[in-house]
């Protein structure tokens, strides 16, 4: 009898130890998990954080203090120098101008093309769409030199036009994206409107657009981000400093004054902060846009 009780007791203790062991194991795993999360978070957040700190420090402070330390006496002087002495205000204005134009045109014209492909019947529709898709295979670098020559020939180099023109008439990627979305809108919606006597234009603008907010926001974001971050093309088509966009301005500043960390990091922030703000506001759309590409079809 004692053996039975001892065994049960032993088994009970054994089970308890096992339970404790597995709970300990789970605890270790959980701690490990959160540790990984913290490390990942640090890797992604630190560069921004350090840049923000540095942009508000003077150069001696940057050189003397650890990059991880917040500014002890924060100053706006770097930004004021950039905007008064180095024309960054102009660069910012230029970037805004061309990016807004690029975005407005690209989204509008891509949307029109997407609607035509998605819900209108016309001869050659499928072959034409295939053509659009095939151009997605062409890397940007290939068209750079010939486009430059074409623009030079048309006396368009060194103008605002040159910066946004190749991207403003609608691009196949956006057309593809929006067409996929439009195809999920039930045909009946458009049929009903057509029977009511609506022109295709009216259908597109008055009916489709209001219910396509998600894809339109995604398309607008993608276009804006592309335009804002674009570097190589503006670099080669503009010469005058007065036409520089932020990316070109930062790169030039880096070549000439790269060691003025206080100024160059402040300059980088002028380009980065608007994107961070954009992300903060529209982060859900960006994350959800992946499902809209329907790549798992």
Partner 1 sequence: MIIGAALTTLAGCAGWGFGGSGGGQTVTLTYALWDPHEQVGYQQSINEFEKLHPDIKVDIENIPYGNYEQKTIAEFITGGAPDLFWVNTPWLATFIKDGMLTNLTPLIKANHVDMSQYYPQLVALHSVGSKIYGLPKDWDTIALYYNKAYFNKLHLTVPANLSWNTSGTGSFVTFLKEATTDASGHNALSPQFNPNKIATYAIGIDNDPQGGWGDYVAEAGGKVLPYPGAPFTSLATPGVNAGVTFLTKYLTGDHVMVPGDLSGPNANGNNLEQMFAQGQVAMWEQGDWNTLTVKTGVTFPVGVATLPIGPAGRVSVFNGLIDGLNSHTKYPKQAWELEQWLGSAQSQAIMGSGGYVWPAIKSLDPLFLKYWQKQGIDMQAFLTEAHGQVVNFPNSPGVGDALTDVDNDLGPAFLGTEPVSQALKTAQTDANYVLRTS
Partner 2 sequence: MSVATAPSTALPKRRKSAAAEDTAERRRTVRTAFAFLAPSLLGVVLFLLIPIVFVIGLSLVQWNMLTPMKWVGLSNYVNIFEFDGFGHSLLVTLYYVILNIPLQTAFALGMAMLLRSKHAGSGVIRIIAVLPFLSTPVAMGVVWNWVFNPSTGLVNQFLAHLGITGPAWLSNEATAMPVIAFANIWQYAGYNMLFFLAGLGAIPLSLYEAAALDGATKWEQFRRVTLPLLRPTMLFVLVTGVIGSFQVFDTVYVMTAGGPGNATEVASLNIYNTAFAGFRIGEASAMSVVLFLIILAITIAQFRYFNKRITYEIA
Binding site for partner 1 (CB under 8 A): 150-162, 165, 239-240, 242-243, 255-256
234 binds, among partner 1, partner 2, none (CB under 5 to 8 A by kind): none
Cα–Cα distance, 84 to 82 (Å, whole number): 6
157 binds, among partner 1, partner 2, none (CB under 5 to 8 A by kind): partner 1
Smallest gap, in angstroms, from Cβ of residue 169 to partner 1?
11
Q: Which of residues 238-297 bind partner 2 (CB under 8 A)?
A: 246-247, 250-251, 254, 258, 261, 264-265, 267-269, 271-272, 275-276, 278-279, 283, 286-287, 290-291, 295-297
140 binds, among partner 1, partner 2, none (CB under 5 to 8 A by kind): partner 2
Cα–Cα distance, 206 to 226 (Å, whole number): 28
User: Residue 153 or 297: which CB sits closer to partner 1?
Assistant: 153
37 binds, among partner 2, partner 1, none (CB under 5 to 8 A by kind): partner 2
Q: Which of 160, 120, 175 has the alpha carbon at shortest distance from 242? A: 160
* Interacting residue with partner 2 among 6, 231, 241, 281 (CB under 8 A): 231
- DSSP alpha helix (H) spans, 170-245: 172-182, 187-195, 200-202, 209-211, 213-229, 232-237
* Interacting residue with partner 2 among 112, 189, 207, 217 (CB under 8 A): 112
* Interacting residue with partner 2 among 21, 41, 93, 211 (CB under 8 A): 41
Binding flags for partner 2, 152-191, as an x/- string (CB under 8 A): x------------xxxxxxxx--x----------------
Smallest gap, in angstroms, from Cβ of residue 152 to partner 1?
6
Q: Which residue has the tokens 């966009």?
A: 245
Q: Kindly state whether residue 109 participates in binding partner 2, applying the rule CB under 8 A.
A: yes
Smallest gap, in angstroms, from Cβ of residue 111 to partner 1?
22
User: Residue 133 or 232: which CB sits closer to partner 1?
Assistant: 232
User: Residue 1 or 197: which CB sits closer to partner 2?
Assistant: 197
155 binds, among partner 2, partner 1, none (CB under 5 to 8 A by kind): partner 1
**Contact by Cβ (8 Å): 199, 111:** no
**If binding means CB under 8 A, how many residues of this protein chain bind partner 2?**
97
Cα–Cα distance, 46 to 123 (Å, whole number): 54
CA distances to 162, 164, 255 from 105, in Å: 14, 9, 33
DSSP conformation letters of 228-274: HH--HHHHHH--SGGG--HHHHHHHHHHHHTT-HHHHHHHHHHHHHH
Cα–Cα distance, 181 to 179 (Å, whole number): 5
Q: Residue 20, Cα to own-chain centre: how many angstroms?
A: 47
**Helix (H/G/I), strand (E/B), else coil: 198:** coil
275 binds, among partner 1, partner 2, none (CB under 5 to 8 A by kind): partner 2
Q: Which residue has the tokens 């061309």?
A: 98
Cα–Cα distance, 36 to 193 (Å, whole number): 54
Binding flags for partner 2, 129-148, as an x/- string (CB under 8 A): --xx--x-xxxxxxxxxxxx
Neighbour-count burial of 288, counting CB atoms closer than 10 A to its CB (0-12 exposed, 13-18 middle, 19+ buried): middle
277 binds, among partner 1, partner 2, none (CB under 5 to 8 A by kind): none
């Amino acid at each position: 009898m004692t053996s039975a009780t001892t065994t049960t007791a032993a088994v009970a203790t054994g089970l308890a130890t096992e339970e404790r062991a597995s709970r300990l194991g789970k605890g270790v795993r959980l701690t490990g998990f959160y540790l990984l999360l913290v490390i990942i978070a640090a890797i992604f957040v630190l560069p921004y954080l350090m840049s923000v700190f540095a942009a508000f420090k003077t150069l001696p402070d940057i050189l003397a203090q650890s990059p991880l330390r917040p500014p002890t006496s924060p100053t706006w002087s770097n930004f004021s120098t950039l905007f008064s002495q180095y024309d960054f205000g102009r660069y910012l204005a230029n970037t805004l101008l061309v990016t807004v134009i690029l975005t407005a045109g690209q989204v509008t014209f891509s949307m029109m093309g997407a609607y035509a492909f998605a819900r209108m019947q016309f001869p050659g529709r499928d072959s034409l769409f295939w053509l659009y898709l095939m151009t997605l295979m062409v890397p940007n670098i290939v068209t750079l030199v010939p486009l430059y020559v074409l623009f030079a020939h048309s006396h368009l180099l060194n103008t605002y036009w040159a910066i946004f023109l190749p991207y403003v008439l609608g691009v196949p990627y956006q057309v593809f994206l929006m067409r996929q979305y439009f195809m999920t809108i039930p045909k009946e919606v458009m049929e009903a409107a057509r029977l009511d006597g609506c022109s295709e234009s009216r259908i597109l603008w008055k009916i489709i657009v209001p219910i396509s907010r998600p894809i339109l926001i995604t398309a607008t974001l993608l276009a804006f981000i592309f335009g804002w971050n674009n570097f190589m093309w503006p670099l080669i088509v503009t010469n005058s400093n007065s036409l520089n966009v932020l990316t070109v301005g930062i790169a030039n500043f880096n070549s000439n004054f790269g060691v003025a960390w206080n100024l160059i990091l402040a300059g980088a922030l002028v380009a980065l902060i608007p994107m961070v703000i954009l992300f903060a506001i529209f982060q859900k759309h960006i994350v959800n846009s992946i499902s809209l590409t329907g790549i798992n079809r």
